[in-house]
Amino acid sequence: MNPNMSEFHSGVVAPVECLKEGWALIKNQYWLFLGISLVGMLIGSAVPIILIGPMMCGIFLCLFSKMRNEKVEFAALFKGFDYFVQGLIVAAIKAIPMIIVIVPSYLIMFVVMATTMPRNHPTPDETSAFMASFFGFELLFVAVIIIVGIVVEIFFIFAFPLIVDRNLSGLEAIKLGIKASKANFGGVLGLLLLNAALGVAGVLCCFVGVYFVLPVTFAAHAVAYRRVFPERFQSFPPPPPPPASWAT
């Protein structure tokens, strides 16, 4: 990896500012980015580990084009498949911690149910005790999943953008993304928690609201990424022509 590719800024992610800038970025094409986000997530969730990588790459390609004031078309979402292999690597590695947590948890839950479930005409007290232990375990399971999910997202938040913006391999993107996340840990955590709060608010709005905040969430992530990894090649306007008196 070129040393210039590994340069990034530290302590530059301000959650509220990233959210505001993300909204400002997409608000004049909100419905286009809503469609891009929804279709990307629907396709990505159809075969999660296989398709989520290229879809995430496609979403960030569209956002970066918008940042450069380029014309954004819906079809650009599918250009994420140009990074299929590298996106798959990131998605597969990102899924490992969740699999490590979820599979044993389900096995433990099955054992708990099999060993504590009342049999042969249980009394109301036995039934209540079983339900309490079952739902208690469920709450603990959900809490662990949320915590692990947030930790994983902190360290992978920059991986997909790095693939499309700096053309890194999946492994290079993960390594560099982890370093950048550590250097901006507080800001990244705050941004994820802020987006999570918006998601909860969306769920409370008849659930469909969570879909409407999705493009804003992605845009805020793109803004945070660009703060940490500035544009490598910036175009500057040509110098003004010399005064007419110079020509004489």
State the Cα–Cα distance between residues 94 and 101, nearest whole angstrom. Answer: 13
Spatial CA neighbour of 9 closest among 141, 161, 139, 182: 182
Residue boundaries of the structural domains of the chain: 3-92+156-229
State the Cα–Cα distance between residues 82 and 88, nearest whole angstrom. Answer: 11
| CA dist 92 → 8, 39, 55, 139 (Å) | 25, 21, 14, 27
For residue range 148-190, list pLDDT tens digits in order: 999 999 999 999 999 999 999 999 999 999 999 999 999 999 9
State the Cα–Cα distance between residues 144 and 150, nearest whole angstrom. Answer: 10
Token pair belonging to 22? 């993300």
pTM of the model: 0.84
For residue range 16-67, list pLDDT tens digits in order: 999 999 999 999 999 999 999 999 999 999 998 999 999 999 999 999 999 9
47 burial via Cβ count (<10 Å: 0-12, 13-18, 19+)? exposed
